[in-house]
Chains A and B, each alone.
Chain A
Amino acid sequence: MSKTETGMTADPGATGPGASTGPGAATGPGAATAATDPPPNQEISPDGGDAGIDGQAPASVRAYGRLLGSELRLVFGRRRNQLLLLVVALFPLLIGIALKIAAPSGAAGGGNGNANGPNNGSAFFNQLAGNGVFLTFIALTMLLILVLPVVVSVVSGDSVAGEAGHGTLRYLLTVPAGRTRLLSVKYLAIVAFATTAVFIVAIVALLAGVVMFPVGPVTLLSGTTVSLADGLLRVLGVTLYIAVAMAAVGAIGLAISTLTEHAIGAIAALMILVVGSEVADDVPQFAAAGPYLPTHWWPMFDSLLRSPVDTTTLWHGLASFVVYAVLFCLLAWARFTTADVTS
């Protein structure tokens, strides 16, 4: 556990001085105590209602919808998770304010078309002064390194291990919720939460960018200028791409979560894995293994910011995410459907 904790506390430093206090303060106590949460809604909302309105849906589908609704309320209603989303929403604002204060003057249109990840940041920074839309890309790039993976780790690592730790897993299974059914609901809730977090970053950054910086036709990294509508479409594309990347992380988290009844262990293990993969990806000697690392394709969303769009890279990235998601969902399933529940 000591290894775990150093991992957790050391990591936020990687996001840079401005960002380090935020995630450190939020994930630390939130993940460790897992205890300060209010009941989401006092009333039981008739969640079966929406599915029940059309009497056509078979009972099993409606029952599945009801369990999914319950799971989503559990995940989104938990104060710790709400706090995570709040922190995620604050980052783009902070980044925007910081960049506004330190804005480089007249650097617009500096289209240096370097495809390497580390340089994207500076390329985006140069663009920002000319167009607020770029705050979205800057925020996503920065949060993608650590904050978004932390958010996904907390929710996915907790998903099965947390239930096992509370002992609620054995009661869910004797209800009976069904092991495969429960696991699939868990994964859908992880994907929903991860997607929500990514979209919160994108939307808050977009709004903040629009308010704080000039907005107009978007000059891409390749130097081409496209219309604002086209630019916004690319923002949506980037957001979805990153959401898929986070869904793959969530699958890894789910698989780890089935191995333990200590949620914090699963969360830490996934964080170590993500950071380890990012570090390994930066070591030139490991270049051959790079494309197979789970984090390798994350920054490649910048392919969408060139004209023409580098679709080969995008598809490679998406294929990598899907392979990781499917593989680890299968591992989670194989483990969860055959393991004794001893908690």
Chain B
Amino acid sequence: MRGALVTGHVDPGGPGQAAAESRDPELAIASSGLTKRFRGGQLAVDDLDLAVPKGSVYGFLGPNGSGKTTTIRMLLGLAFPTSGSAELLGVGVPDGVGRVLSRVGSLVEGPAFYPYLSGRDNLARYDAADRAASPRTSKARIGEALERVGLTAAAKKRYRHYSLGMKQRLAIAAGLLQPRDLIILDEPTNGLDPQGTREVRSLIRRIAADGITVFVSSHLLAEVEQTCSHVGVMRGGKLVFQGSLPELRRTGAARISVRTPDVEAAAKVLRKLGLVGLAPADGEISAELGDDAPEKICAELVHAGVGVRGLSVETPSLEDLFVGLTGEGFDVED
């Protein structure tokens, strides 16, 4: 499954290759060359090749205005792509939205309901719009969805009187009215207090535990880091990274640093092991770790008779990587 992912910096490569990927049955969301140019000429989404594996919790990261919401709107058939194509659960969108969207729950740009209806009536309104929803089970399903987000007590309260967190949870309840295979959440914790954020996060975990693929966008890395198995990073309408979290970590060149009295000999061993970016200093040498295990390097050093006084691995935090990818940094630009 992971093999289907485009790892590292996304190459806007051959469309043929991308098309082959989009037919992958293991992908919940696939797009190839998805592009949206607004009427004003602004390129909001630029040649996007998304690959969201089934069963993953995919964090769609990027600063505000990087094209996340526009992408989600195209995936859900709300906006029409200028070029390129996208598939949800193997069904092409926007042409197939009528068939596929009843299996997809979504929250786009904040909750939206009729302020003059109660929470329950609001859910009933959306349920009535669903061709695939059975009217017989409507009441039970609405009750269950409200229960799941903890809004049963407030079900008869008018939406206007809901707190922000309750509004958000009602929107998630609307996404859970039907059994879903995919949930798309756009900034689900936007504007929530820490308590609300935690509630939403645990809700995401519970949804994912049921085997549902979750696609969650955020401009906050911390949110994604705790819940997601995969990430896609957007910058200026382009996907600058896509892969699993460990893969993202690996792109941040972790450095191994060895404290030793014999820097010369240590450098020779490290070079022999194929490490690059050697930085010898006084009583210490560091190098890019790459895929090697640090304990193996340590063993090799000791084996070669190099005195090792200390050994450490320094990894840039995800925060550093994220900021680097999304452009505020200066060192990842290449």
Contact = CB atoms under 8 A, between A and B. Distances in A.
Interface of A: 35-42, 44, 46-49, 52, 59-60, 62-63, 66-67, 69-70, 74, 78-79, 166-168, 170-178, 181-182, 338, 340-342
Given A168-B112, A168-B114, A168-B125, 16 more contacts: A39-B121, A44-B139, A46-B136, A52-B136, A69-B128, A166-B112, A166-B113, A167-B110, A167-B111, A170-B112, A174-B101, A175-B102, A176-B102, A182-B129, A340-B78, A340-B79
A259 to B, nearest CB: 14
B91 to A, nearest CB: 12
Contacts of A78: 116
A75 to B, nearest CB: 12
A166 B171 CA distance: 14
B118 interface: yes
A47 B76 contact: no
29 contacts: A37-B116, A39-B118, A40-B117, A44-B124, A46-B135, A47-B135, A60-B131, A66-B128, A67-B129, A74-B125, A170-B73, A170-B78, A171-B108, A171-B113, A171-B174, A172-B126, A172-B129, A173-B76, A173-B78, A174-B77, A176-B101, A176-B130, A176-B131, A177-B130, A178-B131, A182-B129, A341-B79, A342-B73, A342-B79
B115 interface: yes
B80 interface: yes
A98 B122 CA distance: 44
A44 B138 CA distance: 9
Contacts of A175: 101-102, 126, 129-130
A33 to B, nearest CB: 11
A340 B158 CA distance: 30
Contacts of A173: 76-78, 97
A178 B130 CA distance: 9
Nearest to B117: A39
Contacts of A66: 128, 135
B286 to A, nearest CB: 50
Interface of B: 73, 76-80, 97-98, 101-102, 104, 106, 108-118, 120-121, 124-126, 128-131, 133, 135-136, 138-139, 142, 156, 158, 160, 171, 174
A48 B108 contact: no
Q: Which of A62, A66, A79 has the most C-beta atoms of chain B within 10 angstroms of its own C-beta?
A: A66
Contacts of A40: 117, 121
A49 to B, nearest CB: 7
A174 B135 contact: no
B216 to A, nearest CB: 16
A70 B125 contact: yes
Nearest to A172: B129
Contacts of A42: 118, 121, 156
B142 to A, nearest CB: 8
Nearest to A338: B80
A70 B129 contact: yes
B135 A49 contact: yes
Contacts of A341: 73, 78-79
A274 B114 CA distance: 29
A340 B73 contact: yes
Contacts of A168: 112-114, 125
B141 to A, nearest CB: 11
Question: Which 5 pairs from chain A and chain B are nearest by CB?
Answer: A167-B112, A48-B135, A70-B128, A37-B116, A177-B129
Given A39-B118, A70-B125, A174 B104 contact: yes
A43 to B, nearest CB: 9
Contacts of A166: 112-115
Nearest to B78: A341
A172 B127 CA distance: 9
Contact of B136 (A48, A170, A176): A48
A70 B124 contact: yes
Contacts of A176: 77, 97-98, 101-102, 129-131
A173 B94 CA distance: 11
